[in-house]
A = this chain, B = another copy of it.
Amino acid sequence: MVPKPVDGSPADEADLTRADSLAREIFSDIANKWALLIIEAVGEDTRRFTELRKQIDGISHKMLTQNLRMLERNGLVERHVHPTVPPRVDYTLTEPGRALRATVDGMCEWTRRHLGHIETARGRFGT
């Protein structure tokens, strides 16, 4: 990510470590199962809360809201509340969100492509 806090010039050392720790924090946020699956699930469309809940399968009400808030906080998804009754909330990816999704697509594609290799690797490993 950022090479390493090898030791910078005293002047911008603080900035470097701040940027670095921010990067690590963001990375930790998004490098989790649910966040990535949610980003995948929203896709190019606009999705409602319940749609996402059904689409992701296995995710709990709590984890979905929690991760959606986190993604919103980091500016990856946008939240549109329609002041109707019953309420309707639409989620869409922001531009950075869509950019991230492209790389997540890569991971999904990777998973599909290497399913076989992984299965045999597990066999050799002994479970």
Contact = CB atoms under 8 A, between A and B. Distances in A.
Contact of A120 (B31, B75, B127): B75
A102 B28 CA distance: 18
A36 interface: yes
A82 interface: no
A113 B72 CA distance: 18
A5 to B, nearest CB: 8
Interface string A5-38: 1000000000000010011101110111100110
A119 B22 contact: yes
A122 B30 contact: no
A73 B31 contact: no
Given A4-B55, A27-B33, A31-B36, A75 B107 contact: no
25 contacts: A1-B108, A19-B115, A22-B115, A22-B118, A22-B119, A23-B111, A26-B118, A27-B33, A27-B36, A27-B37, A27-B108, A30-B107, A31-B31, A31-B33, A31-B107, A32-B32, A73-B127, A75-B117, A75-B118, A96-B114, A96-B117, A100-B114, A103-B103, A103-B107, A104-B107
